[in-house]
């Protein structure tokens, strides 16, 4: 039976699912309800000198009927006094000693101020500390958040300050709004971070009301760039998690676009030890963790993985430089005549948008559908197909277009091997 208990920097979490710092972890009451629902840990809404937020502060992009495919916020850190947050952390830890409570911290970039907040958070009973070097808006204008996380030297320095005072594990949370996140992750590691977590949100403007030219989210006709997250950012997060996994030895906490067990397992396969969730909990509530835990356990049982460690990082070596990919690997498209509805979308996409490898349907390749109507099935020109996947991606019918591997009897050969061989 799969054992979801996860070891993290000497701590044990009941499972790898933690709530990320954000509105779902704003109060002790919420965090306790989240633990009751099954979350293994919670990173408290970032604690620092209380701020005043704007109204409104969230925006979203819906896609094809799916609400909040991408989510954005211009919210700052906690608007509650530090003492109130810390006393609630103490209460939660008293009542839930086996769950992990991680204090997310962001204060002025001064050594003594960092020492002070670290000691106070640990005094309240926090199991670990997460340094918020990621907030892309508002706080960065005040010299905190991304203003720190975008400069390797600052990231290293403040991590060092936190470590000087800390007795519990220190996690540096990274911003994706940089040219090379691996340099920032390495700087945190040099500063003594016990782990890194990523990603925080991505700089974004959600849209513009074309009647009055107010950007979204609208604050009295104006807006500001904010942080993008939710399902839309998962591919970016997966790329950055895997890049960091190749460059640091310390544990990684995967964050970004996680809403179900598959998203979580992908982060873990690309190197994450535990994962954090924000937008999905804001969208659906705390109960989603039940399906996440059941789904992950079932996947692990099916594959004979007893613990998270048995498959963690297994996909990392498979993320390669383009130059190392096998240029002799060949696939071509296959259309299932029985499933095809004759919409010609694959033909249009291939003809206009790709490589002209599909022949428009002719009477010769038509079929009768279940209603006895003639359906025109396009034909793949096997010798021309470059195996780009586009037709399979646009096809509206599941499994109608599949990609078939062709063995041309050639040994694997990458671009780098060609260059090395002088070809
Ligand atoms: C409304 C909102 C507020 C957030 N506040 C914080 C915060 O206070 N501190 C922090 O480190 N991250 C904050 N985040 C970022 C999340 O912790 C997380 O890194 C990001 O949303 C990506 O995860 P997701 O795709 O699961 O939402 C916030 C995110 C949202 C949506």
Reference 359, options 374, 341, 373, 377; nearest CA is 377
pTM: 0.96
Nearest 5°: the CA angle 208, 213, 219 is: 75
- Whether residues 314 and 334 share a domain: the answer is no
pLDDT at 370: 82
- Whether residues 43 and 192 share a domain: the answer is yes
Q: Is the separation of the CB atoms in 122 and 213 below 8 Å?
A: no
- Whether residues 283 and 394 share a domain: the answer is no
pLDDT interval class at 256 (50, 70, 90): very high
- Whether residues 82 and 194 share a domain: the answer is yes
Mutate to test the pocket of ligand 1, among 17, 18, 20 (most ligand atoms within 8 A of CB): 20
Q: Is residue 340 part of a domain?
A: yes
Q: Which domain holds residue 341?
A: 323-420
Helices 152-165, 181-190: axis angle to 10 degrees equals 30
Q: Is residue 409 part of a domain?
A: yes
- Whether residues 327 and 313 share a domain: the answer is no
What single-letter DSSP state applies at residue 14? S
- Whether residues 88 and 122 share a domain: the answer is yes
Q: Is the separation of the CB atoms in 91 and 27 below 8 Å?
A: no
Reference 276, options 3, 82, 52, 24; nearest CA is 24
C-alpha of residue 276 to centroid of ligand 1, in Å: 9
As to burial, measured by CB atoms within 10 angstroms (0-12 exposed, 13-18 middle, 19+ buried), residue 367 is middle
- Whether residues 412 and 348 share a domain: the answer is yes
- Whether residues 273 and 414 share a domain: the answer is no
Percent with pLDDT over 90 in the chain: 91
CB of 401 closer than 6 angstroms to any ligand 1 atom: no
Q: Is residue 394 part of a domain?
A: yes
- Whether residues 124 and 234 share a domain: the answer is yes
Q: Is residue 96 part of a domain?
A: yes
How many domains does the chain contain in total?
A: 2
Asked which of 40-49, 116-125, 128-137, 377-386 is least confident by mean pLDDT, the reply is: 128-137
Of 318, 334, 350, the domain-final residue: 318
Q: For 385-404, what is each residue's pLDDT tens digit?
A: 999 999 999 999 999 999 99
- Whether residues 301 and 332 share a domain: the answer is no
Of 269, 287, 318, the domain-final residue: 318
| pLDDT at residue 250 is higher than 90 | yes
Q: Is residue 1 part of a domain?
A: no
CB of 277 closer than 6 angstroms to any ligand 1 atom: yes
| pLDDT at residue 136 is higher than 80 | no
- Whether residues 314 and 329 share a domain: the answer is no
pLDDT at 185: 98
Please state, in angstroms and rounded to a whole number, the distance separating the CA atoms of residues 368 and 220. 58
What single-letter DSSP state applies at residue 330? E
CB of 134 closer than 6 angstroms to any ligand 1 atom: yes
What single-letter DSSP state applies at residue 378? P
| pLDDT at residue 100 is higher than 80 | yes
How far is the CA of 210 from the CAs of 216, 221, 337, in angstroms? Answer: 11, 12, 45
- Whether residues 305 and 340 share a domain: the answer is no
Catalytic residues: 135
pLDDT at 113: 97
CB of 255 closer than 6 angstroms to any ligand 1 atom: yes
CB of 50 closer than 6 angstroms to any ligand 1 atom: no
Ligand 1 atom closest to 258 (CA):
26
Q: For 8-62, what is each residue's pLDDT tens digit?
A: 999 999 999 999 999 999 999 999 999 999 999 999 999 999 889 999 999 999 9
As to burial, measured by CB atoms within 10 angstroms (0-12 exposed, 13-18 middle, 19+ buried), residue 211 is exposed
| pLDDT at residue 137 is higher than 90 | no
What single-letter DSSP state applies at residue 271? T
Percent with pLDDT over 70 in the chain: 100
CATH code, 350? 3.30.70.20
pLDDT interval class at 160 (50, 70, 90): very high
Average pLDDT over residues 107-135: 95
Q: What are phi and psi of 237, to 5 degrees?
A: -60, -45
Region class of 127: left (phi > 0), else alpha (psi between -120 and 50), else beta = alpha
Please state, in angstroms and rounded to a whole number, the distance separating the CA atoms of residues 404 and 37. 44
* Start-to-end Cα distance in the chain: 52
Of 302, 318, 334, the domain-final residue: 318
CATH code, 83? 3.20.20.70
SS3 of residue 232 by DSSP: helix
Q: For 224-240, what is each residue's pLDDT tens digit?
A: 999 999 999 999 999 99
């Amino acid at each position: 039976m799969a054992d979801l208990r996860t070891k993290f920097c000497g701590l044990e979490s009941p499972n790898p699912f933690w709530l990320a710092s954000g509105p779902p972890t704003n109060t002790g009451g919420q965090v306790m309800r989240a633990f009751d629902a099954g979350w293994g840990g919670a990173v408290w809404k970032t604690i620092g000198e209380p701020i005043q937020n704007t109204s409104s502060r969230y925006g979203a992009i819906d896609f094809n009927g799916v609400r909040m495919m991408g989510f954005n916020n211009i919210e700052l850190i906690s608007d509650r006094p530090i003492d109130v947050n810390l006393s609630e952390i103490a209460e939660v830890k008293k009542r839930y000693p086996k769950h992990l409570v991680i204090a997310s911290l962001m204060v002025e970039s001064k050594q003594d101020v960092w020492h002070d907040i670290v000691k106070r958070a640990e005094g309240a009973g926090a199991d670990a500390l997460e340094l918020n070097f990621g907030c892309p808006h508002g706080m960065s204008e005040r010299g905190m958040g991304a203003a720190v996380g975008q400069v390797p030297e600052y990231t290293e320095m403040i991590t060092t300050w936190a470590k000087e005072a800390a007795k519990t594990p220190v996690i540096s949370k990274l911003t994706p709004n940089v040219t090379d996140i691996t340099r920032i992750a390495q700087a945190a590691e040099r500063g003594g971070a016990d782990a890194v977590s990523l990603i925080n949100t991505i700089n974004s403007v959600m849209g513009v009301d074309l009647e009055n030219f107010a950007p979204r989210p609208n604050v009295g006709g104006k807006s500001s760039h904010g942080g993008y997250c939710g399902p839309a950012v998962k591919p970016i997060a997966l790329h950055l998690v895997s890049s960091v996994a190749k460059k640091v030895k310390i544990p990684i906490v995967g964050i970004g676009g996680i809403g179900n067990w598959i998203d979580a397992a992908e982060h873990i396969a690309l190197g994450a030890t535990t994962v954090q969730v924000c937008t999905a909990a804001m969208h659906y509530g705390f109960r989603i963790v039940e399906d996440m835990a059941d789904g992950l356990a079932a996947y692990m049982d099916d594959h004979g993985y007893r613990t998270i460690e048995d498959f963690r990082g297994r996909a990392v070596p498979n993320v390669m430089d383009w130059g190392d990919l096998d240029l002799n690997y060949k696939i071509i498209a296959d259309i299932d005549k029985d499933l095809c509805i004759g919409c010609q979308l694959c033909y249009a996409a291939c003809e206009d948008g790709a490589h002209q490898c599909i022949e428009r349907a002719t009477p010769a390749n038509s079929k009768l559908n279940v209603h006895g109507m003639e359906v025109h099935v396009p034909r793949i020109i096997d010798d021309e197909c470059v195996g780009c996947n586009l037709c399979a991606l646009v096809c509206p019918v599941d499994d109608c277009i599949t990609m078939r591997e062709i063995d041309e009897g050639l040994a694997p050969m990458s671009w780098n091997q060609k260059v090395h061989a002088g070809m």
